[in-house]
Amino acid sequence: MRILIDADGCPVVDAAVRIAKANKIDCIIFCDTAHVFEKEGAETVTVSQGADSVDFALVNRVVGGDIVITQDYGLAAMSLARKAIVVSQNGMVYDDSNIDSLLLARYTARKIRNAGGRLKGPAKRTLEQDRQFRETLTRLIPDTQR
C-alpha cells in the first residue's frame, strides 16, 4: 500500500504526508512543473505541464490497494478501475456507487460552461473538511499498517 497524491490544487498534501509518515507508508506526490512540491517523507514526481499529464502519470503508477487522493473525478474513475482506494480532499471515498453520478455532474457542468453559463464555485475550505479528510485517510489505512 502506498499513498499517491494528485497534488495540483490539493490543500491536504501536508496532512497526507504526515499521516503516511506516521504509518510508515510510502507517499508519492504528483505535480506538474507549475506546482513543484518537495516534502520530507515523500517522493515527488514532477511531469510536464499539459492537460491531464499529472493524472496519467499517477494512474500509470497506481496498483490495487494503493490509496489515491484526488478531487478529479476522471482520475478517481481510472484509479478505481485499477482497484485503488480513492478519497477526495474532503474525505469522501469514491466508489462504484457514486462515481457515475459524479462523472455525469462533471459532464453536465462542462456543457453548461461551454454554452456560456456560469456555475457557482466551491465554498471556502473549512477546518471541518480538513478534520474529515484526516479521519477518513487514517480509517482507510488497514490496522496491519499501523
Write down the pLDDT at residue 107: 64
Strands 85-87 and 93-94: antiparallel
Q: In DSSP terms, which residues pair with 5 in a beta bridge?
A: 29, 69
How many residues would you count in the chain? 146
| Alpha helix positions (H), the chain | 13-22, 53-59, 73-81, 99-114, 127-140
pLDDT value, residue 103? 67
pLDDT along the chain (146 residues), means of 10: 91 95 95 83 89 90 96 92 95 86 70 78 86 96 65
- pLDDT tens for each residue of 6-34: 998 889 999 999 999 999 999 999 998 88
C-alpha cell at 65: 490497494
Domain 2-95+126-145 has CATH 2.60.40: no
Domain residue extents for the chain: 2-95+126-145
User: What confidence score (pLDDT) does residue 145 get?
Assistant: 58
Give the span between the Cα atoms of 64 and 86, in whole angstroms: 11
The span from the CA of 88 to the CA of 91, in Å, is 5
- The SS3 of residue 90 is coil
Predicted local confidence at residue 142, as pLDDT: 79
- State residue 118's pLDDT score: 78
Instruction: Tell me 71's DSSP state.
Output: S
